[in-house]
Amino acid sequence: MAKTVYLETGSLDPRYNLAFEEYILTHRREGDYLILWQNAASVIVGRNQLSAQEVNGDFAAENGIRVVRRITGGGAVYHDLGNLNYSFLCDAEDMANRTATRFTQPVVAALRGLGLEAEASGRNDILVSGCKVSGTAAHIHRGRVLHHGTLLFDSDAETITKVLTPDPLKLRSKGIRSVKSRVGNIRSFLPTDMTLPQFWNYLKTALAGSGFTQGFLTEAEKQEILRLKAEKYDTWQWNYGSAPNFQLRCKDRWDGGILEVHLSIDHGKIQNIRIFGDFMALTSCDALEKALIGCLYQKDAIADAIAGISLRECLGGITKEEFLQTVVK
């Protein structure tokens, strides 16, 4: 069995690290990869989220916290140097390789190996003693899957509560009053204390399965990552995006996550549409949005227009009927 290729980004810049991750997904087309990495203080928002709604912008600016959008779905997360991130990249030849369980199981096993009461929970969480220590998300590109997650080891819980502004629908659905009450740090649960570097070294071996080989990037690849960073992850358009005026805003909370749809309607037809939310998308919503431009604003017409779209990939666990119920009230 081929060994996993292990990579580190060599950077604490979230814009560079997300560009690094995307480059490996789109250009290293064979083999299994594991990346462990850290970001300096930052909020990483899901691909389909409205950044301004998820982040306390004034607090972030005053405290030098960067806001950067990732290519995967799910909700906003806070990163700092008490947090360790992991990324798995491999072939997605069948649906088994697209499920969160395939990737969360080794993380849960690694945490249990430290004597922790760890378990996977809900759509994308990993819990230790009932507290969330990890959120995960995934993206598929041309037959390759990226699955990544956070691991709160010794993060600043006070900053998390001040910089993240989650939708009240999310907290109510979980029966929880605040972000702070949901999250925990791995270090506080360890039966035997360890430092983050020690935890990093342990995780590197634990997640590599049959072992790993140290991978390296060429200078040409590093330059391409810097180019991607400059053209995409450094830009306001990617990280915040314009928020055009829409005539209709529809929003619901489903088991698969929060779905928010903004529409412009003219003469009974959809002229523009944007889809937002923290659902666990595997691809972008571009094809879904494009399919609805020019469509009659009627439930049956919309259902016909999206018949050929894989909603499982672009809306995660949100079903076709749930999407229709949100869009057409």
* Chain mean pLDDT for the chain: 91
Asked which of 206, 239, 272 is the last residue of a domain, the reply is 239
Domain match, 232 and 255 both: no
Asked which of 239, 263, 297 is the last residue of a domain, the reply is 239
Segments in 2-156 forming alpha helices (H): 14-27, 51-54, 57-62, 101-112
Domain match, 295 and 197 both: no
Specify the higher pLDDT residue, 10 or 242: 10
Question: Collapsing DSSP states into helix, strand and coil, what is residue 317?
Answer: coil
Q: Is the pLDDT of residue 181 over 70?
A: no
Tens digit of each residue's pLDDT (9 = 90 or more) over 259-312: 999 999 999 999 999 999 999 999 999 999 999 999 999 999 999 999 999 999
Residue 253 sits in which domain range? 248-327
CATH of the domain at 253: 3.30.390.50
Domain match, 89 and 220 both: yes
How far is residue 52's CA from residue 137's CA, in Å, rounded to a whole number?
Answer: 20
Domain match, 61 and 183 both: yes
Domain match, 302 and 202 both: no
Total structural domains within the chain: 2
Q: What is the 3-state secondary structure (H, E, C) of 147-181?
A: EEEEEECCCCHHHHHHHECCCHHHHHHCCCCCCCC
Q: Is the pLDDT of residue 178 over 50?
A: no
Looking at the chain, the whole-number percentage of residues with pLDDT higher than 90 is: 81
Rounded to two decimals, what is the model's pTM?
0.88
Q: Is the pLDDT of residue 173 over 70?
A: no
Domain match, 260 and 218 both: no
Q: Is the pLDDT of residue 251 over 60?
A: yes
Domain match, 59 and 207 both: yes
Could you give phi then psi for residue 48, rounded to 5 degrees? -100, 15
Domain match, 139 and 98 both: yes
Residues 6+ apart with CB under 8 A from 216: 7
Domain match, 40 and 166 both: yes
How far is residue 247's CA from residue 278's CA, in Å, rounded to a whole number?
Answer: 22
